[in-house]
């Protein structure tokens, strides 16, 4: 491992968009972390990772979505609410609470959370997931107020429909209608996510910002 490179802890880095993103981050030491290597729902597991690894940049691409309109939640699937909030909200809080002490001592840190277009443009059946992502987009503002003076920035990426990950799980014919509604008439590329990440890493004066990467789909 090149000690001159900054180290990225990439949560959600073993599948979906995270796995595809790694090849665009060659100038960094990337530690890909998936559910098999670390349980972000378990604070002790996350804290142990940061105690054993010197990390400069944290990218959290972990997520879990269960589609259901609110009136369809019942005894058989109400546990899916807890699973979504545990992974998206509790998992993010565990990561932040564990990485921030190290970054504050170092006087440097970059935290990038992946949000979703659903945060500001929810669709039918995405109530819990959309709410979790909206929480994330507001959380970055508090993290900024508390930590920017220590050289730590915190931003989010409001991802639209990207060429990978959860986009491929959206059923037809809805997905064709979505693509047609995007002004660019295409999915976002992994390289475009990487460009946004590079901007956040290199621009300390931008913090507490939710960047929309959605092809103009507002």
Instruction: Estimate the share of the chain in helix, then strand, then coil, as percent rounded to the nearest 5.
Output: 45, 15, 35
- Run of H or E residues at 169: none
Residue 199's domain spans which residues? 7-213
Cα separation, 139 vs 135, in Å, equals 6
Report yes or no on 159 lying in a domain: yes
Report yes or no on 205 lying in a domain: yes
Asked if pLDDT for residue 1 goes beyond 60, the answer is no
pTM for this prediction: 0.93
Closest CA to 112 of 155, 143, 167: 155
Q: Mind listing the pLDDT tens digit for each residue in 52-73? A: 999 999 999 998 889 999 999 9
Q: Mind listing the pLDDT tens digit for each residue in 73-102? A: 999 999 999 999 999 999 999 999 999 999
Report yes or no on 83 lying in a domain: yes
Report yes or no on 163 lying in a domain: yes
Q: For the chain, what is the domain count? A: 1
Q: Note the pLDDT of residue 2.
A: 53
Report yes or no on 135 lying in a domain: yes
Report yes or no on 2 lying in a domain: no
Cα separation, 159 vs 76, in Å, equals 30
* CATH number for 98: 3.40.50.720
Report yes or no on 43 lying in a domain: yes
Asked if pLDDT for residue 167 goes beyond 90, the answer is no
Q: Note the pLDDT of residue 169.
A: 63
């Amino acid at each position: 491992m090149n000690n001159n490179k900054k180290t990225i802890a990439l949560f959600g880095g073993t599948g979906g968009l995270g796995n595809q993103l790694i090849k665009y981050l060659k100038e960094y030491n990337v530690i890909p972390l998936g559910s098999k290597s670390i349980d972000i729902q378990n604070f002790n597991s996350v804290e142990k990772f940061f105690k054993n690894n010197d990390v400069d940049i944290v990218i959290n691409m972990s997520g879990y979505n269960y589609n259901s309109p609110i009136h369809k939640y019942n005894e058989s699937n109400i546990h899916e609410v807890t699973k979504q909030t545990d992974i998206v909200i509790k998992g993010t809080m565990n990561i932040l609470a564990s990485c921030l002490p190290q970054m504050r001592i170092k006087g440097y840190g970059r935290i990038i959370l992946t949000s979703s277009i659903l945060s500001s443009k929810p669709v039918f059946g995405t109530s819990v997931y959309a709410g979790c992502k909206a929480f994330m987009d507001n959380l970055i503002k508090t993290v900024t107020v508390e930590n920017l003076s220590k050289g730590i920035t915190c931003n989010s990426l409001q991802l639209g429909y990207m060429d990978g990950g959860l986009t491929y799980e959206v059923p037809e014919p809805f997905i064709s209608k979505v693509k047609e509604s995007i002004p660019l008439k295409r999915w976002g590329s992994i390289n475009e996510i990487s460009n946004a990440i590079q901007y956040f890493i290199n621009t300390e004066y931008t913090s507490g910002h939710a960047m929309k990467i959605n092809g103009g789909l507002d």
